[in-house]
Amino acid sequence: MNSPLPDLLDAEDLPEAVLRAAVLDGELYPVGPCYRPVDLPPDAAARASALRSTASQARVLAGRTAAWVWGAAADPGEPLSAFVPSTAAVGHTSPLLGASIRVVRLRASDVMRLDGVPLTTPLRTAIDLLCAAAPSPARADRLGVHALLAIAGATAEDLLADLATRSRLVGRDRAIALAEALRADAFGVAA
């Protein structure tokens, strides 16, 4: 009796060559470093699960990587981005190849779990994208912030109100300026 395929497959389940051949045959599609059967739709929980190993040892998916999980970025970015809360009960986390990991202050309300994987909320992810943005963000980044605000059910005013409560956030002034432009619709989604 054949058992059904798991929702996500990786090289521990099948050899990489077999997984890639299944993509070519139209049986699987890539989800980050994993693969998913084509009869299962792509969703945030699957994208989060695909990055479960990045979010181990008190790490929280963040930045562009979290935006990808939420569906607000085309890819998870290189390197993958994760935070370790400054209150984490671990002295050190082991290094993770291909990931950028920073120790930051996170509020309990900044983190949620999708399929057991911790990541920043859509609003916190939008804040992090604005804090890291260039003075004139690319169109994809502007669209990502708009998408994250829609997912969070938030507005530019909500974003500014949250930023006003964060005095020690790196890039806060840049984020406020970009959020002001967003509120004035100068930030917009036009090219």
pLDDT tens column, 16-69: 999 999 999 999 999 999 999 999 999 999 999 999 988 887 899 999 999 999
- Cα–Cα distance, 161 to 69 (Å, whole number): 25
CA–CA gap between residue 190 and residue 181 (Å, rounded):
13
Segment 76-104, tens digit of pLDDT:
988 999 998 876 555 555 556 677 888 88
Q: Are 141 and 133 in contact (CB under 8 A)?
A: yes
The H or E element that residue 81 is part of is strand 80-85
User: For the CA atoms of 107, 150, 130, 47, what is the dihedral angle to 10 degrees?
Assistant: 70
Phi-psi region of 156 (alpha: psi -120 to 50; beta: other; left: phi over 0): alpha
pLDDT band at 1 (very low <50, low <70, confident <90, very high): very low
